[in-house]
């Protein structure tokens, strides 16, 4: 019996020491930047961002030294807009909290959390038409917020240890375990995007649900004293044709609702993109090249500034 107890004590002690060592390693590396100690590059190629996109954005917000910084919220089509472009063209400071795959519910949760932590002067929510649907996926922003509030659980977790190893390997040895780039040709990727768009369901119930979330976001931003704008980002003509054809009624109903009830920067239509004086260049069906995204930022800021004046 004594030998059994000694073995159990040794086993527990070893486990505790291993967890403590792993947690210490994760805290030192701080892969998501939650403690503000990390010096790793942020953005699309950041390994930690690829492991947990919303947590990386939550960390960006928590470690910001400016509680009134302007915010960009949305999915990957928000993330494509460079903070440098917003800063330079507006003369104001911006923070991009967009991340790939964000649902409308996750955009709302990100806005709620940002308003709890500060009072951004302006908030731009990048909201394409295909987000006007009810999502039944897990709200990863709420999960990320819970993790950020429980650092002990985060830094002793396997995902944080995994991120720490990958960030360190990438930074020191240039070893890439994963990539943000699609593992297929550009044409195949666009075909996949288009096929997915065709299958989306824009029911009346889903549209009403989405409009209600938009109203809630407006109320909360107004209550916090923040100016809220919604930006519909450009898309290739073939996708706009699908929206105007197969999804004609919901597409134009959404546009009409947004124009009547929100400050709406609509570049998700052919007329608006033609007014930018030059043909936009796309990397795929919905994502712009850096040069074209800068043109949209310039146009969007011009509208925001005119509305403020």
pLDDT digit string (tens) for 262-309? Answer: 999 999 987 766 666 568 999 999 999 999 999 999 999 999 998 865
Residue 275 forms beta bridges with which residues? none
* End-to-end Cα, the chain, rounded Å: 81
pLDDT (average), residues 166-194: 70
In order of 33, 45, 163, 170, the CA distances from 40 in angstroms are 8, 10, 12, 10
SS3 state at 300: helix
The tally of CA atoms less than 13 A away on the side-chain side of residue 11 is 6
Which domains occur in the chain, in start order? 2-308 (3.40.50.1110)
pLDDT of 84 reads 96
Taking only the tens place, the pLDDT of each residue in 234-256 is 999 999 999 999 999 999 999 99
What angle separates helix 248-261 from helix 204-224, to the nearest 10 degrees? 20
CA–CA distance, 144 with 266 (Å, rounded to integer): 30
CA–CA distance, 74 with 67 (Å, rounded to integer): 19
Q: Give pTM, 2 decimals.
A: 0.87
In order of 43, 154, 309, the CA distances from 142 in angstroms are 21, 14, 36
Residue 7: which pLDDT band, with cuts at 50, 70 and 90?
Answer: low
CB atoms within 10 A of CB 199: 6
- Written as six digits, the tokens of 301 are 């800021």
pLDDT of 44 reads 36
pLDDT of 152 reads 81
Q: Which residue has the higher pLDDT, 269 or 87?
A: 87
pLDDT of 43 reads 40
Q: What is the b/e burial string over 238-260, where b = at least 16 CB atoms within 10 angstroms of the residue's CB?
A: ebbebbeeebeebbebbbebbee
| Predicted confidence (pLDDT) at residue 25 exceeds the cutoff of 80 | no
Mean pLDDT score of the chain, rounded to an integer? 85
Q: Which one of 13-17, 147-151, 153-157 scores highest in mean pLDDT?
A: 147-151
pLDDT of 175 reads 57
**To which H or E segment does residue 124 belong?**
strand 122-126
- Written as six digits, the tokens of 255 are 């546009």
- Classify strands 227-232 and 94-96 as parallel, antiparallel or unpaired: unpaired
Taking only the tens place, the pLDDT of each residue in 99-152 is 999 999 999 999 999 999 999 999 999 999 999 998 888 999 999 999 999 888
SS3 state at 265: strand
What secondary structure, in 3-state letters, does 13-32 show?
HHHHHHHHHHHHHHHHHCCC
């Amino acid at each position: 019996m004594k030998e059994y107890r000694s073995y159990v004590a040794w086993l527990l002690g070893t486990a505790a020491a291993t967890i403590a060592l792993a947690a210490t390693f994760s805290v030192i590396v701080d892969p998501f930047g939650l403690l503000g100690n990390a010096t790793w590059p942020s953005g699309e190629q950041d390994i930690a961002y690829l492991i947990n996109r919303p947590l990386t954005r939550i960390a960006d917000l928590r470690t910001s030294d400016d509680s009134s910084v302007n915010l960009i919220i949305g999915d990957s089509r928000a993330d494509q807009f460079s903070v440098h472009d917003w800063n330079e063209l507006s003369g104001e400071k911006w923070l991009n909290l967009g991340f790939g795959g964000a649902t409308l519910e996750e955009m709302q949760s990100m806005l709620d959390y940002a308003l709890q932590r500060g009072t951004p002067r302006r908030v731009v929510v990048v909201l394409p038409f295909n987000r006007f649907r009810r999502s039944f996926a897990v709200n990863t922003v709420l999960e990320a917020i819970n993790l950020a509030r429980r650092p002990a659980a985060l830094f002793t977790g396997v995902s944080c240890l995994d991120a720490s190893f990958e960030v360190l390997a990438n930074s020191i040895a240039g070893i890439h375990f994963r990539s943000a780039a699609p593992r297929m040709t550009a044409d195949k990727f666009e075909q996949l995007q288009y096929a997915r768009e065709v299958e989306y369901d824009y029911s009346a119930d889903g549209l009403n649900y989405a409009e209600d979330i938009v109203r809630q976001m407006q109320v909360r931003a107004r209550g916090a004293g923040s100016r809220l704008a919604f930006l519909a980002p450009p898309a290739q003509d073939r996708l706009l044709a699908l929206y105007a054809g197969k999804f004609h009624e919901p597409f134009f109903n959404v546009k009409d609702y947004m124009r009547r009830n929100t400050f709406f920067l609509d570049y998700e239509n052919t007329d608006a993109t033609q007014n930018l004086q030059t043909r936009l260049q796309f990397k795929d069906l919905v994502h712009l090249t850096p040069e074209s995204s800068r043109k949209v930022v310039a146009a969007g800021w011009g509208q925001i500034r005119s509305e403020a004046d």
